Amino acid sequence: MYDKSQLMRGTLEGCILKILSQNTSYGYEIVTTLLGYGFKDIKEGTIYPLLVRLEKKGIITSEMRPSPLGPSRKYYSITPDGVEYLNEFKTNWKQISQSVNQVFDTEV
């Protein structure tokens, strides 16, 4: 059976950066946004390791903020390096997805 975890991890990095380029957000809110876009199997346990990795790379930053509903939340923001990374991801994604679509749209 095909293991889609590797494919998803790289794809999710780009999607997380796109979400953060629009608004500062916290983990659960990012998960909810991705679910709204049709990512069915996404859970917080999938997202947090990606957020940690992106933060270690300097692509995003985080800060604790008070929450109106309980304990403080860690909010994530994209950095200038993250914007550059997102632009490169978008360019590469368009090229790769176009090529993959051409392969699968070919009649055999």
SS3 category, 74: strand
> What's the pLDDT tens digit per position in 78-102?
999 999 999 999 999 999 999 999 9
How are beta strands 25-26 and 70-78 bridged, if at all? antiparallel
> What's the pLDDT tens digit per position in 16-74?
999 999 999 999 999 999 999 999 888 888 899 999 999 999 999 999 999 888 899 99
Q: Which CATH architecture describes the domain 5-105?
A: Orthogonal Bundle (1.10)
pLDDT value for 108: 63
pLDDT value for 80: 98
> What are the residue boundaries of the structural domains of the chain, listed by start?
5-105
C-beta separation of 59 from 81 below 8 A: yes
Q: Alpha-carbon distance 104 to 71, whole Å?
A: 48
Which alpha helices (DSSP H) does the chain contain, by range?
A: 5-22, 27-36, 44-56, 80-105
C-beta separation of 42 from 31 below 8 A: yes
pLDDT value for 54: 97
Closest CA to 63 of 47, 49, 79: 79
Q: pTM here?
A: 0.88
Q: How many CB atoms lie within 10 A of CB 7?
A: 10
